[in-house]
Chain A
Amino acid sequence: MSLRHRRITLAIAVAATILLAQVGINIWQHLGKARYFAWAPNDYLVTYDLRVNAKGRPLTPAEIQSRYRLDLSDRIGELSDARKATLGLSTDEHYVFEDPPQELEDRIRRCEETRGKKDGARVRLVYQLDGGKEQTWLWPS
């Protein structure tokens, strides 16, 4: 077998591994509630409100945005109360996250377990998935 042929065969083997790994990751992610590196582009609509107390005081939305690298544009606040009611959204929710809520919780939890560990933060996340039932997640849980 020539060197060139070997290289091509190796390249195909690596490409096949990448493709098979995606299949494996997708199956694995479907066993849980997150979709990391699984194909679910913009498949979720999480509307939420997030309150954080750290270092003994409540954080501003800008501080929360920076702390978790979340986009905290008030996209829900632009809707009228009547529109929110039609969509079944709580009037307290302001922000939008387009991945599963588990990924939002994971990000906050991992930030608080690592970078923010010394701050003794207390987090209250209130959210709805696709306009469904309102749920609350707390850190520390």
Chain B
Amino acid sequence: MAVAELTAEAPKPAALLNPFRVRGTALPPNVLLAAKVVTLVFLITGGWRLTDPFVPFIGFLGDLASSGAYQHTLQAIWLIAAASLLLNQLVRPSCLVLGGTLLLAQLSSTPYRTNNLTFTALLLLIIGLSDRNTAKMLIRAQLVVLYFWAGTNKLLDGNWRSGAFFESWVGIHAYGPAYKHLADLLPSMVLSTVASWAVIVTELFISVTFAIRRLVPVGILLVIAYHSSLFLVTGTTFTMFWFSVTAAAVALVEWPEVPPTVKYSETGPFARVVGLLHRVDFGHALAWEQTGGSELELESGERRFTGREALARVMLYHPTLYMVFYALAAIQEPARRWAAAVALAVAAYAAVVLVRSRVNPRSQVHA
């Protein structure tokens, strides 16, 4: 089936070089999109500079070459693989090289190793090792491992259970005043203890949602809401963490196997915004049809959506929007909390749609 799908939509080689294009490769479109946005962010934030060896975890990595030569070699390999991935060439090997290089850089330098870079490396490696049939299962497994151990580490730590960590952590950071004001209204340590347990329970629950297939949509929303809330409150993306985990969530979204058809008119509701979305669909992710009817429609397989819900789906399946959004969020400037607010708004809307579709399964029209 995967081969038939590849053949049916195989684009011309020149079209494949389009970086906004995410269809027609060995990976599912949104998994490739996730790998691309992570790579794009890593490029924009300067992560591609990687590191020279410094007190390596594996001793000989510090003796292979001079510091400069080692770092420049890693950079060259990483940049070539990034170009290859963004231009849709050898996408799986490119992901393997990107993830492998980043992991190697961390093994080469104790100070360079961080949880967010380790996750980014493993996400790219896992994508590189997967195909259309296994990608989502493997990414889910990686998220189960990540959140299970992140939650368990906190659960086993007395300072997390008592709230001592949270009290100190919030106390020394600049975003503490609002928290302190609220904490002052309550008995000592109560708010910190509640917040600590909320984090522990959330992380362990997220691991459960990715372990059970039907709970994956809940997991996706929780990951986006949880990390975007942290981003909004603290103003930090924790380097690559927010980008990588939200990209992993994007990779798990149910994505149409063939480009959905969008029918819109020049005069109907949302006409301007849909017209703009059509013009910026540089990757030809959707099939656009201008019709005489006034209602906006999106057809995806046997499902048909109209009006606002169709507009939401158009944006959901629009790779250019993701790339622009992540690129803008990656630009270092002090007031980038807007990205967290946007992600939270999207998650909130998606949660409403999800709940509504569970309560009333007939809310979507069958073509």
Q: Is A76 an interface residue (CB 8 A)?
A: yes
A19-B145, A129-B159 are known contacts. Are A70 and B111 too (CB-CB below 8 A)?
yes
Inter-chain contact A8/B145, CB cutoff 8 Å: no
Q: Is B6 an interface residue (CB 8 A)?
A: no
Residues of A within 8 A of B55 (CB): 107, 110-111, 114-115
Identify A131's interface contact among B111, B133, B153, B168, CB under 8 A.
B168
A8-B134, A107-B111, A129-B159 are known contacts. Are A43 and B165 too (CB-CB below 8 A)?
yes
Q: In residues 16-48 of chain A, which contact B (Cβ within 8 Å)?
A: 18-19, 22-23, 26, 30, 35-45, 47
Q: Is B72 an interface residue (CB 8 A)?
A: no
Residues of A within 8 A of B152 (CB): 26
Residues of B within 8 A of A107 (CB): 55, 110-111
Identify B153's interface contact among A40, A68, A75, A129, CB under 8 A.
A40
Residues of B within 8 A of A79 (CB): 172
Identify the stretch in B118-126, B259-267, B282-290, B331-339 within 8 Å (CB) of chain A at 4 or more residues: B118-126
CA distance A131 to B165 in the complex (A): 8
Inter-chain contact B150/A45, CB cutoff 8 Å: no
Of all chain B residues, the one with the shortest Cβ separation from A44 is B165
Residues of A within 8 A of B116 (CB): 41
Q: Is A135 an interface residue (CB 8 A)?
A: no
A45-B165, A110-B55 are known contacts. Are A39 and B172 too (CB-CB below 8 A)?
no
Inter-chain contact B141/A36, CB cutoff 8 Å: no
CA distance A131 to B150 in the complex (A): 21
Q: Is B231 an interface residue (CB 8 A)?
A: no
CA distance A107 to B131 in the complex (A): 39
Identify A39's interface contact among B138, B150, B157, B171, CB under 8 A.
B150
Q: Is A83 an interface residue (CB 8 A)?
A: yes
Of all chain A residues, the one with the shortest Cβ separation from B128 is A11
Inter-chain contact B130/A39, CB cutoff 8 Å: no
Identify A19's interface contact among B142, B150, B156, B171, CB under 8 A.
B142
Residues of A within 8 A of B169 (CB): 45, 130
The 8 A CB mask of A82-93 against B (1 = contact, 0 = none) is: 010011110000
CA distance A126 to B126 in the complex (A): 41
A45-B168, A115-B55 are known contacts. Are A15 and B145 too (CB-CB below 8 A)?
no
- A110 to chain B: closest CB distance in Å? 5
B122, B153, B159: most-surrounded residue (chain A CB, <10 A): B153
Q: Is A120 an interface residue (CB 8 A)?
A: no
Q: Is B317 an interface residue (CB 8 A)?
A: no
Inter-chain contact A23/B145, CB cutoff 8 Å: yes
Inter-chain contact B171/A15, CB cutoff 8 Å: no
CA distance A130 to B161 in the complex (A): 12
Inter-chain contact A11/B129, CB cutoff 8 Å: yes
Residues of A within 8 A of B138 (CB): 12, 15, 19
Of all chain A residues, the one with the shortest Cβ separation from B152 is A26
Residues of A within 8 A of B146 (CB): 39
The 8 A CB mask of B265-278 against A (1 = contact, 0 = none) is: 00000000000000
11 extra interchain contacts, Cβ-Cβ under 8 A, other than A18-B125, A70-B111, A107-B111? Answer: A12-B138, A15-B129, A19-B138, A30-B153, A37-B113, A40-B150, A43-B165, A47-B168, A68-B111, A87-B171, A131-B168
Q: Closest 6 A-B residue pairs measured CB to CB?
A: A41-B115, A39-B149, A69-B111, A131-B168, A130-B159, A15-B129
Residues of chain A having any CB pair with chain B under 8 Å:
8, 11-12, 14-15, 18-19, 22-23, 26, 30, 35-45, 47, 68-70, 75-76, 79, 83, 86-89, 96, 103, 106-107, 110-111, 114-115, 129-132
Cβ contacts A to B, 26 pairs, < 8 Å: A11-B130, A12-B134, A15-B125, A15-B129, A18-B122, A18-B125, A19-B145, A35-B153, A38-B149, A41-B114, A41-B116, A41-B150, A43-B157, A45-B168, A45-B172, A75-B172, A83-B171, A86-B171, A87-B167, A88-B168, A89-B172, A107-B55, A110-B55, A130-B164, A130-B167, A132-B164
Residues of chain B having any CB pair with chain A under 8 Å:
54-55, 57, 109-111, 113-116, 118, 122, 125-126, 129-131, 133-134, 138, 141-142, 145-147, 149-150, 152-154, 156-157, 159-160, 164-165, 167-169, 171-172, 238, 241
